[in-house]
Amino acid sequence: MKIPVTPLAFGSAAIGGLYAPVPPDTGVHTVQRALEAGMRYLDTAPHYGAGKAERILGAALSDVPRESFTISTKVGRVLRPLRPGESPDSAGFEGEPPVKREWDFSRDGVLRSLESSLERLGIDRVDMVYLHDPDAHEDEVYASAYPALAELREQGVVGAIGAGMNQTEMLTRFVRRLDLDVVLCAGRYTLLDRSAEAELLPACVERGTAVVVGGAYNSGLLAGGTTYNYESAPVAMLERVAELERVCTRYDVPLRAAALQFPMRHPAVASVLVGCRTPEEVTENAALFALDVPEDLWKEL
């Protein structure tokens, strides 16, 4: 990885209000605890709380030496104020400002999105920029969004560029066709879903593309919740988690620890993102990530 990242990284969707509101001061304390715990790579996006997560990060990082952390944000959604008669977005984030998200993978959209992110973050540069969820915009990626990011990288405005998605097929095409430094693969290299093993991870090894894994808990199911891929988990998945739980219990290892550490066992993976809502969640996840897991357990899993 050409940009330094920590093995355990901080994902900011939760402090942006995903599923439940987070007071700004709680968000700031959570980010500060993450830095104390060694999570010095922080990832965000305009989508997370319609700019709220970026503002909280900006407040938390205002007195932190810029060279002491790595930060990434994303492009693809541009935020604008609500027009008369418009309703706010229903994007799963609580307590966000009254704005609308608009898909925009044009060159101008990429540049405007990044400029707005820098303003919310209160910094003059980010280390990495991802194309965010371009599932329905693949042609625009090739035509305008990727060239814009490549230009920014060539100019030294950003250090690394990539794409972040909840699927592997398009990410694999991007890795093979474009000069990406990194991909953010969410929920597709976990104890429940190893689909990234088939093509994406081998392509990344071949091309020298680093991988950041998000969604190691599969949106909560592997952390004691009942949601899988942001929806109610099917019975088959609940049964599979129960079996994983039984295996881990025999080794006296929490399933959450195994889930969080699993992605780092692949040589292509540089970092695992974990979303934390409170300082206590940061402390708990850092301890789980550092827990010793016997090799025999990995063999069984």
48 is catalytic: yes
Residues 6+ apart with CB under 8 A from 108: none
- All structural domains of the chain, each given as residue ranges with its CATH number in brackets, are 8-300 (3.20.20.100)
**Catalytic pick from 48, 146, 189, 217?**
48
Question: How far apart are alpha carbons 9 and 12 in whole angstroms?
Answer: 10
DSSP for the chain, written as a single string: --S---SEEEE-TGGGTBSS---HHHHHHHHHHHHHTT--EEE--TTTTTTHHHHHHHHHHTTS-GGG-EEEEEESEEEEEPPTTPPPP-SSBSS--SEEEEE--SHHHHHHHHHHHHHHHT-S--SEEEEE--TT-HHHIIIIIHHHHHHHHHTTSSSEEEEEES-SHHHHHHHHHS--SEEEEESSSSSS--GGGTTHHHHHHHHT-EEEEE-TTGGGGGGT-SEETTEEPPHHHHHHHHHHHHHHHHTT--HHHHHHHGGGGSTTEEEEEEE-SSHHHHHHHHHHHHS---HHHHHH-
Residues 6+ apart with CB under 8 A from 78: 46, 101, 102, 103, 104, 109, 112, 113, 116
Q: Are 152 and 158 in contact (CB under 8 A)?
A: yes
Residue 298 Rama label (left phi>0; alpha psi -120 to 50; beta) = alpha
Q: Nearest CA to 213 among 171, 252, 250, 178?
A: 171
From residue 229, alpha-carbon distances to 101, 141, 219, 232, 233 in Å are 21, 25, 6, 8, 8
| Tens digit of each residue's pLDDT, the chain (301 residues) | 789 999 999 999 999 999 899 999 999 999 999 999 999 999 999 999 999 999 999 999 999 999 999 999 999 999 999 999 998 888 889 999 999 999 999 999 999 999 999 999 999 999 999 999 999 999 999 999 999 999 999 999 999 999 999 999 999 999 999 999 999 999 999 999 999 999 999 999 999 999 999 999 998 899 999 889 888 899 999 999 999 999 999 999 999 999 999 999 999 999 999 999 999 999 999 999 999 999 999 999 8
pTM for this model (two decimals) = 0.96
- Compute the Cα dihedral for 245, 247, 249, 254 and give only its sign: negative
